[in-house]
Every structure is written in structure tokens, then in C-alpha cells.
Amino acid sequence: MLKFVARRLGVMVLTALALTFVVFYLTNLPPNLEKLARTEGSVRMTDQAVASWIENNGHGGSVFGRYAQWLGIAPGWVLTDDKGVTRGRCIQNNQDPATAATYCGVLQGEWGFSTVFKKPVLESVLQKLGSTGWLMMWVMIVMVPVSLIMGVLSGMREGSRLDRSLSIVAIATTATPEYVSGVILVAIFASATAGISPILHDWGWISGKTLFLGTATSAMDNITFWNFALPVLTIALYGIGYIARMTRASMTEVMTQQYIRTARLKGVRFRTVVMRHALRNALIAPFTVIMLQFPWLLNGVVITEALFNYKGFGWTLVQAAGNNDIDLLLGCSVVAVLVVLVTQLISDIGYVFLNPRIRLA
């Protein structure tokens, strides 16, 4: 078991290095650096000035060297210009170059400075991650039980009418990406001109113009049912169908096993068979699926936060990418890659733990 975990961890570190390098390479492409030079310096810089700005701000040299500096395994760049002022990656403004650290990369906790938010990257990313954490928590609270119940109910009697109708619902939700379900949900529940809100308003059941709020900006400070239900539902809906179908497949397979038939022939009630004998075995596969949903949820989070204007991690990623904020984009990528890899690891290890049939040397 220990050897298995160690090997998985090794592959994970290798993957993380490869992925962060790809992101570093793509964000530090020459056109991006030129754009950065023009926004940081001046728009009317000559091509020569741009080249020297790039060189003087530590963006010159090989991409591998800069990646190592960014990671914190190579000494940060130090340059002394014509006026005798020494600047460097690790030297803050007005700091004596002699006292500055040699290494300052992601590993040392120096994630750089965001040009959009005018704040250190680590601080802004952590703060936004907190907001997204709330969103994810509610998504999980809604998505996991609903999809498992749907899957178990349709899988326990394959081909029944209940199974057919639940399967159609599951297929329909997987066909509805977040940007479609978000628009439809807003149309039904949060539009002043269509859906159910005007009717409820006419009847005097709601005091405001709409039943739910169409934006989740107010949920940044104060989460209520009315401002948070739609974004949570938007993300959860897309995942529900997929997990439910996986659970159904797993459940139908378990229900054909010998031990289930034995239990039924023994005279155990159907309900008890499902609850005691089938459920535990049927839930192994969905566990992996749920863990592997995290990277996919990231997609949904970005779309939903953009749609409902909720200023979390996904919104930050869009801002960083849209404004050529290289350090912030790199920070977001590190977090995203870590989330994906850690959930993959948990799903692998959890699968081994849950499934007694897998024995590892």
C-alpha cells in the first residue's frame, strides 16, 4: 500500500511539474510579454524599448531558466542598470540588495504581484478560493445526495417505469451545460418579465420584483437562499445526471449478483436487500466518479461565476486571462492543477480502500 501511494505521489509531482511548465510557457510567450511591457511601461514604446524592458525585468533568457526561478529552485535574477541601481526578482522596492533572499519562487511562497488587483497573488487567490469554497460546498451538498438517490432508485429495478423516467431526467441534465441551464433558470425564476416571478408578484406573494436574484454578487458578504440557490443549482444540475447514470450502472450490476438473489430467496424484504446488501457495494464506483468530477466542476465554476457575477476563483481566472495578468494566471493554474491532482490521488487511494477485491502488494 505504501509503495502504491509513493508511486502515485511521484507521478503526481511529475505531472504537476509538467503542467505548470506548460502553463508557464504559454503565459510567457513573447507576444504576451510584449503586451505586458506595453501596459506596464508605455503604449508608445518602440520595439527596441520593449525588448530592453523585457530584458531588464527578468523576462529574458531561456524559458527553462525563468521557470526554475519562478518555481524557486534557481536563484532569482539580479540586474544592475547604468545608474547603479540593483533590482531583482527577490528585491522589493527600497530594499538593500544584500539582505534579499536568493530564491523566491512558488515553493518559497512568493507568488508574485497581481497587476489587476494590485495585491500579492497569493493573498487574492486565497481570498477568492474561500468564496468559491462556499459555492462548491453547497453544490456538493445538493449534488451528491440527489444524484446518488436518483441512481439507486433507477438502478434497483432496471427497466421499470421509475428507471425510465429518472434516466430521461439524467440524460436531459447532462445535455444542459451551465451556460444553458443558468440562462433557463434565470428566465424562469429571476426575470421580471417572464417565468413565474411576475405571476407571484401580481398575487402579492413576493414583495420584490423577482423570486430569486439574478446575480450572486450580494452572496459575497451574505449568503442567503435567494441569492445563492440559482448558481448552486446551475452547477449541480450538470453533474447530477452524470453521477446518477454511473450510480445506476453500478447498482444494476450489483443487483444481478448471486448474493442479492440468495438474500431475496432467503426471504429478506426488498428494501432491506437494497439498503443492507446492495447499497454499500454499489457506491464504490460513484465515489471515484464524484472525486473525478472536481476538475469538471472547475469548468462549471468559471462559467457560473461569470454568469452570476460571483467574484470567486473562476471569476479571478477570467479576469487574469482577460487582462494578461501573468502572475495571477500562473497562481490560478497552480491551484487548479493541484486541486485536480489531489482529487485524482484521493479517488485512486479511496477506491483501493473501499474495494476489498483489489489487493496491492
Partner 1 sequence: MDQTTLLSWGQIIARIVQQFLPVWIALIVTFAVSIRYKRKLGLYGKLFDSPVGMIGFALVMFWVYTAIFADMIITMDPIAQFGRVKNPPPGTPLVDVKDGQYAYFLLGADHLARDVFSRVVMGARRVLTIAPAATTFAFIMGVTLGLPAGYFGGKLDTVLSFLANLVLAFPVILLFYLLVTPEIRNTNIPVVLAAVLFIFPVIFLTVLFNSRFFTNPPKRNLYVGITLVIGLWAYLGLAFNKDPLGVWSMDPNLLNVFVSVVFVNSPTVFRIVRGIVMDLKARDYVAAGQTRGESAWYIMLWEILPNARGPLIVDFCLRIGYTTILLGTLGFFGLGVSPESPDWGSTIDDGRKLLSLYLHPAITPALALMSLVLGLNLLADGLREESLKD
**Residue with Cβ nearer partner 1 (108 or 215):** 215
Task: Among 15, 52, 86, 323, indicate the residue that binds partner 1 (CB under 8 A).
Answer: 15
Does 282 bind partner 1 (CB under 8 A)? Our answer is: no
Question: Which residues, 6 or more positions from 354, have their beta carbon under 8 angstroms from its beta carbon?
Answer: 284, 287
Q: Which stretch binds partner 1 (CB under 8 A): 46-54, 69-77, 223-231, 295-303?
A: 295-303
**Residue with Cβ nearer partner 1 (64 or 270):** 64
Q: State in angstroms the smallest separation of the CB of 176 from partner 1.
A: 5
Task: Among 193, 207, 222, 256, indicate the residue that binds partner 1 (CB under 8 A).
Answer: 193
- Three-class secondary structure assignment of 124-176: HHHHHHHHHHHHHHHHHHHHHHHHHHHHHHHHHCCCCHHHHHHHHHHHHHHCC
Does 246 bind partner 1 (CB under 8 A)? Our answer is: no
Does 211 bind partner 1 (CB under 8 A)? Our answer is: no
Does 306 bind partner 1 (CB under 8 A)? Our answer is: yes
3-state secondary structure of 113: strand
Please state, in angstroms and rounded to a whole number, the distance separating the CA atoms of residues 183 and 292.
26
Does 328 bind partner 1 (CB under 8 A)? Our answer is: no
**Residue with Cβ nearer partner 1 (179 or 226):** 179
Does 176 bind partner 1 (CB under 8 A)? Our answer is: yes
Q: State in angstroms the smallest separation of the CB of 157 from partner 1.
A: 17
**Contact by Cβ (8 Å): 77, 58:** yes
Q: Which stretch binds partner 1 (CB under 8 A): 19-27, 77-85, 129-137, 348-356?
A: 19-27
**Residue with Cβ nearer partner 1 (115 or 344):** 344
- In sequence order, what DSSP letters do the residues of 39-63 get, joined into one string? HHS-TT--HHHHHHHHHHTT--S-H
**Residue with Cβ nearer partner 1 (104 or 235):** 235
Alpha-carbon distances, residue 6 vs 3, 208, 349 (angstroms): 5, 57, 11
Angle between helices 284-308 and 326-354 (to 10 degrees): 160
**Residue with Cβ nearer partner 1 (273 or 337):** 337
Q: State in angstroms the smallest separation of the CB of 191 from partner 1.
A: 6
Q: What are phi and psi of 87, to 5 degrees?
A: -125, 160
Core vs surface per residue 224-254: b (16+ CB within 10 A) or e:
eebbbbbbbbbbbbbbbbbbbbbbbbbbbeb
Closest of 277, 294, 302 to residue 346, by C-alpha? 294
> What are the residues binding partner 1 (CB under 8 A)?
11, 14-15, 18-19, 22-23, 26-27, 29-32, 35, 167-168, 171-172, 174-177, 179-180, 182-184, 186-187, 190-194, 210, 214, 295, 298-299, 302-303, 306-307, 314, 317-318, 321, 329, 332-333, 336-337, 340-341, 344
